[in-house]
RNA sequence: GGCGCUAUCGUCUAGGGGUUAGGACGUGAGAUUCUCAAUCUUAAAACCCGGGUUCGAUUCCCGGUAGCGCUACCA
């Protein structure tokens, strides 16, 4: 064993499996990962499943699945529920030092929600001062109790720590309540389990949501009781909804779940890029960033302190900037990869699309979709055996009429019958046809485009025709002629 | 209520004692193209309020206000 103590950071992501993977959790994971990988450190995944009432296996699966989708790895795996004995022992060790006491007061119902009544609750009268003998006697008699930390009172003690994001923090111990370490069922609370594990797993930096900033004073006390050096803390500003409230499924729906982004066709790298820009800045005016760039640029010093709004609404469920970033990442993909990325979305949309056909279509739509999920709709006419009914007037070009449409279509069919279905040849043929008719290119192309695509807005005509092939193109033009 | 944190365009942000307060998304206008998209140009758009410090505050300090968080035998 090497004797040198590693100075490499060890960070952890410690979700509670009480729901699907939330975008805020995903961001916390990403920031931890970036910190670890930027500094050559270790990433620990720890399931904080001490709340047996609310934990579900489905949630564990959903979290792991979401993390895998992000494509970011971790090095070590732990489950708090497998370490309960360690937690209990550590609580009693704190008790033995006189830093904790038994509280026999029946559990608070929690429903009354009266924390805002008058003044802060600090401890239950009579319990703190119980003699060791009486405490032991009542416990031995089977009376249930919670184990509480004996927070220093009247000593003028100021609890403090330095947060890597928020700076120096301090709070009078007299303001901190005697929080629980062990519940009356003997199970550890989150605070105890989390701190014990962070100490035991030699976590060097705790990077987590700002909602834990004030809890950290308690944690500092626990590390002290444990006889451990507290790690460095870094709290991240929260992700909030446009109404300023913390994102929640109840209130904001599926937009808070990372699977929603995945299913809509976000690329994980774009999603990561977007999340990183909320509460962190590369400070170089860059917005579009590859994962490698983010990793090399990432520092805790560049993390902001103000909450960031994820700008979504019912009409537009995704933040416009997230969509734009996704479009950018989509365009940056090699076309072959773009093709493989859209494939599952065609299957999901019910198109019987071969790999070859998708590969041919991919370059035509890559620049035209912002989400992978938009691909099938953008390319439907390549796969539909029969075009959906469209308005014939759509074919009428600028300064034209239906008579012009008819002649254009007839001429196009004639020209195309002779043409080789390849981009340049099609262009030459159709432009010549337009000349022959004395029409502008646009006037010639629009009727054809609508005839073969069923709509005005579509990819460039010659490439489209080339992919469609002679047979289909001619058939659709003939059909359009019949409509006029 | 108590304690803690925060405050620059609609949103994400840069900046910082003296600046035309910068960028990005989105929005408007224009250019270009066979339509759309992309691209380019361009416009509108911000320092929460009040004091103090200072020759000078958007920047530093204090107060207010607002928002958020914690205030459980949830995490």
Indicate if the pLDDT at residue A112 is higher than 70: no
pLDDT for the residue A251: 81
Residue-wise pLDDT tens digits, A118-130 = 677 899 989 999 9
Mean pLDDT for the stretch of residues A140-146: 96
Residue-wise pLDDT tens digits, A457-484 = 999 999 999 999 999 999 999 999 999 8
Among the candidates A384, A417, A452, a domain finishes at A384
Among the candidates A332, A347, A375, a domain finishes at A332
Q: How far is the CA of A354 from the C1' of B35 (A)?
A: 27
Same domain, A166 and A29: no
Indicate if the pLDDT at residue A110 is higher than 60: no
pLDDT for the residue A115: 47
Mean pLDDT for the stretch of residues A209-218: 97
Asked whether residue A189, judged by its CB, lies under 7 Å from any atom of the DNA or RNA strand B, the reply is yes
pLDDT for the residue A113: 45
Q: How far is the CA of A463 from the C1' of B60 (A)?
A: 63
DSSP annotation of A54 reads T
Which residue minimizes Cα–C1' distance to B6? Answer: A306
Asked whether residue A150, judged by its CB, lies under 7 Å from any atom of the DNA or RNA strand B, the reply is no
> Which tops the pLDDT comparison, A120 or A204?
A204
Same domain, A66 and A196: yes
CATH number at residue A303: 1.10.1160.10
In a domain, A23, yes or no: yes
pLDDT for the residue A195: 98
Asked whether residue A169, judged by its CB, lies under 7 Å from any atom of the DNA or RNA strand B, the reply is yes
Same domain, A227 and A255: no
pLDDT for the residue A109: 55
Indicate if the pLDDT at residue A5 is higher than 70: no
Q: Which of residues 440-469 of A touch strand B (CB under 7 A)?
A: 441-442, 445-446, 449, 456-462
Q: Which domain holds residue A343?
A: 335-384
Q: Which nucleotides of B are covered by protein (CB under 7 A)?
A: 1-8, 10-15, 22-26, 34-38, 67-75
pLDDT for the residue A50: 83
Q: How far is the CA of A169 from the C1' of B52 (A)?
A: 26
Question: For A281-374, where are the alpha helices, taking DSSP H only?
Answer: 291-297, 320-332, 335-348, 355-365
Mean pLDDT for the stretch of residues A104-133: 76
Same domain, A71 and A97: no
Same domain, A405 and A470: yes
Same domain, A321 and A339: no
Residue-wise pLDDT tens digits, A233-292 = 999 999 999 988 888 777 888 889 999 999 999 999 999 999 999 999 999 999 999 999
In a domain, A114, yes or no: no
In a domain, A1, yes or no: no
Number of compact structural domains in chain A:
5
Angle between helices A461-468 and A375-383 (to 10 degrees): 60
The ipTM assigned to this model is 0.95
Q: How far is the CA of A270 from the C1' of B25 (A)?
A: 14
Q: How far is the CA of A348 from the C1' of B65 (A)?
A: 52
CATH number at residue A65: 3.40.50.620
Indicate if the pLDDT at residue A3 is higher than 70: no
Asked whether residue A79, judged by its CB, lies under 7 Å from any atom of the DNA or RNA strand B, the reply is no
Same domain, A70 and A197: yes
pLDDT for the residue A399: 85
Q: How large a percentage of chain A has pLDDT more than 90?
A: 88
pLDDT for the residue A137: 96
Q: How far is the CA of A445 from the C1' of B58 (A)?
A: 55
Assigned token pair, A162: 């330095």
Angle between helices A375-383 and A355-365 (to 10 degrees): 120
| Three-class SS state of A47 | strand
Cβ-in-10-Å burial (0-12, 13-18, 19+) of A33 comes to buried
CATH number at residue A403: 1.10.10.350
Same domain, A183 and A206: no
In a domain, A3, yes or no: no
pLDDT for the residue A6: 58
Nucleotide nearest to A113 (CA to C1'): B72
pLDDT for the residue A2: 42
Nucleotide nearest to A189 (CA to C1'): B73
Tell me if A370 sits within 8 A of A330, measured CB to CB: yes
Asked whether residue A138, judged by its CB, lies under 7 Å from any atom of the DNA or RNA strand B, the reply is no
| Three-class SS state of A303 | strand
In a domain, A342, yes or no: yes
Asked whether residue A25, judged by its CB, lies under 7 Å from any atom of the DNA or RNA strand B, the reply is no
Asked whether residue A50, judged by its CB, lies under 7 Å from any atom of the DNA or RNA strand B, the reply is yes
Asked whether residue A287, judged by its CB, lies under 7 Å from any atom of the DNA or RNA strand B, the reply is yes
Same domain, A196 and A180: no
In a domain, A113, yes or no: no
Tell me if A225 sits within 8 A of A97, measured CB to CB: yes
> Which tops the pLDDT comparison, A248 or A296?
A296
pLDDT for the residue A459: 97
Mean pLDDT for the stretch of residues A54-78: 95
pLDDT for the residue A116: 45
pLDDT for the residue A114: 47
Same domain, A419 and A451: yes
Q: Is A249 a catalytic residue?
A: yes
Q: How far is the CA of A189 from the C1' of B4 (A)?
A: 22
Confidence of residue A117 (pLDDT cuts 50, 70, 90): low
Same domain, A222 and A272: no
CATH number at residue A164: 3.90.800.10
Q: How large a percentage of chain A has pLDDT more than 70?
A: 96
Confidence of residue A25 (pLDDT cuts 50, 70, 90): very high
Mean pLDDT for the stretch of residues A19-31: 95
In a domain, A5, yes or no: no
CA angle A259, A265, A269 (to 5 degrees): 85
Nucleotide nearest to A431 (CA to C1'): B34
CATH number at residue A341: 1.10.8
Centroid of chain to Cα A73: 15
Indicate if the pLDDT at residue A434 is higher than 60: yes
Mean pLDDT for the stretch of residues A341-350: 96
Same domain, A65 and A207: yes
In a domain, A218, yes or no: yes
> Which tops the pLDDT comparison, A53 or A143?
A143
Assigned token pair, A252: 């904001």
Query: Catalytic pick from A249, A283, A290, A355?
Result: A249
């Amino acid at each position: 064993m090497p004797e040198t103590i590693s100075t490499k950071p060890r960070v952890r992501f410690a979700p509670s499996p009480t729901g699907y993977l939330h975008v805020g959790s995903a961001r916390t994971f990403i920031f931890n990962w970036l910190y670890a990988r930027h500094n050559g450190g270790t990433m620990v995944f720890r399931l904080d499943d001490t709340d047996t009432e609310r934990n579900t296996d489905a949630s564990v699966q959903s979290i792991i699945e979401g993390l895998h989708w992000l494509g970011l790895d971790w090095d070590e795996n732990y489950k708090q529920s497998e370490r309960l004995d360690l937690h209990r022992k550590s609580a009693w060790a704190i008790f033995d030092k006189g830093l904790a006491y038994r509280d026999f007061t029946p559990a608070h119902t929690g429903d009354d929600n009266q924390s805002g009544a008058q003044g802060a609750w600090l401890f239950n009268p009579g319990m703190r001062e119980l003699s060791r003998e009486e405490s032991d006697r009542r416990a031995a008699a089977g009376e249930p109790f919670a184990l509480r930390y004996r927070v220093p009172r009247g000593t003028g003690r100021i609890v403090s720590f330095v947060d890597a994001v928020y700076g120096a923090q301090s709070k009078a111990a007299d303001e901190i309540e005697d929080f629980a370490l062990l519940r009356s069922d003997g199970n550890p609370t989150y605070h105890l389990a989390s701190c014990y594990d962070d100490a035991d797993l030699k976590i060097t930096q705790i990077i987590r949501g700002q909602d834990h900033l004030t809890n950290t004073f308690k944690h500092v006390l626990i590390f002290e009781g444990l006889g451990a050096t507290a790690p460095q803390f870094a709290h991240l500003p929260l992700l909030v909804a446009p109404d300023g409230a913390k994102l929640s499924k109840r209130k904001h729906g599926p937009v808070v779940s990372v699977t929603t982004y995945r299913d809509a066709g976000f690329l994980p790298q774009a999603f990561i890029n977007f999340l990183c820009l909320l509460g962190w800045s590369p400070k170089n005016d860059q917005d579009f960033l590859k994962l490698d760039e983010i990793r090399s640029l990432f520092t805790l010093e560049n993390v902001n302190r103000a909450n960031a709004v994820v700008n979504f609404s019912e009409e537009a469920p995704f933040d416009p900037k997230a969509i734009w970033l996704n479009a950018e990442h989509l365009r940056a993909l090699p076309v072959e990869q773009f093709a493989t990325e859209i494939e599952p979305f065609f299957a999901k949309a019910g198109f019987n699309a071969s790999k070859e056909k998708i590969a041919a279509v991919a370059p035509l739509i890559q620049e035209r979709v912002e989400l992978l999920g938009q691909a099938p709709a953008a390319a439907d006419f390549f796969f539909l055996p029969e075009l959906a009914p469209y308005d014939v007037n759509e074919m009428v070009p600028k300064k034209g009429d239906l008579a012009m449409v008819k002649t254009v279509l007839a001429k196009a069919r004639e020209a195309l019958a002779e043409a080789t279905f390849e981009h340049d040849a099609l262009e030459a043929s159709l432009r010549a046809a337009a000349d022959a008719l004395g029409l502008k290119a646009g006037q010639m192309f629009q009727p054809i485009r609508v005839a073969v695509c069923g709509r005005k807005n579509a990819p460039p005509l010659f490439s489209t025709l080339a992919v469609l092939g002679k047979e289909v193109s001619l058939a659709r033009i003939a059909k359009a002629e019949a409509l006029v």
